[in-house]
């Protein structure tokens, strides 16, 4: 699978080897990582990706991506699907950035890229979950066009239909 490119970012589809380095928190000789990367969230996403790779499976197009700045190739975060489409064609995404790179619009740019990718790969509904104490993530999801559809304790569930209703 090819990289997904945005104006400022490269969303690089993980390979099992790359995901293993993220889980271990140990960059390889050619890896460029921002300070604070990977966070525990990125390590969790990489573990999910590796679980999806078991038995030689390739979870892409609904796998995980390393978020890299195009200007210097430095990995600043991760974004990925929690699996392929469910019985209703819905996919859920999770994402995170190294703290030093937050507040610059990178998360919104990455979410919009994987949203377009999900649509082109045939997903019918795009979902994400955040918490009541994370207003920055709530803002990212609203900017990407998702609407709050359900609250469950401290969890906020957002979604966006990817097909036009007629």
Residue 142 CA to residue 113 CA, distance in Å, equals 15
pLDDT digits (tens, 9 = 90+) for 89-114: 999 999 999 999 999 999 999 999 99
What are the structure tokens assigned to 27, written together?
């960059």
pLDDT tier at 165, thresholds 50, 70, 90: low
The answer to the question of residue 78 being in a domain is yes
For residue 114, give the H/E element and its range.
helix 106-120
Residue 94 CA to residue 102 CA, distance in Å, equals 15
The answer to the question of residue 137 being in a domain is no
For residue 138, give the H/E element and its range.
helix 135-143
Query: What CATH number is given to the structural domain containing 21?
Result: 3.40.630.30
Residue 126, pLDDT above cutoff 90: yes
Q: Return the minimum-mean-pLDDT range out of 6-15, 24-33, 57-66, 126-135.
A: 57-66
The answer to the question of residue 148 being in a domain is no
State the DSSP code for 72.
T
Specify the number of domains making up the chain.
1
Whole-model pTM: value is: 0.94
β-pair partners for 96: 78
pLDDT tier at 58, thresholds 50, 70, 90: confident
């Amino acid at each position: 699978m090819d990289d997904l490119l945005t104006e400022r970012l490269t969303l690089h589809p993980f390979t099992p080897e790359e995901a293993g380095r993220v889980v271990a928190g140990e960059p390889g000789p050619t890896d460029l990582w921002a300070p604070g990367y990977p966070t525990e969230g990125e390590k969790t996403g990489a573990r999910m990706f590796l679980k999806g790779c078991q038995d030689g499976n390739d979870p892409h197009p609904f796998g995980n991506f390393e978020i890299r700045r195009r200007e210097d190739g430095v990995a600043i975060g991760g974004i990925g699907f929690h699996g392929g489409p469910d019985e209703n064609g819905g996919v859920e995404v999770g994402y995170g950035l190294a703290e030093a790179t937050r507040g610059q619009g990178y998360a919104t740019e990455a979410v919009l890229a994987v949203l377009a990718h999900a649509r082109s790969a045939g997903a019918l509904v795009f979902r994400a979950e955040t918490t009541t104490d994370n207003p920055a993530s709530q803002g990212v999801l609203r900017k990407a066009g998702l609407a709050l559809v359900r609250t469950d304790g401290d969890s906020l569930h957002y979604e966006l239909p990817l097909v036009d209703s007629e």
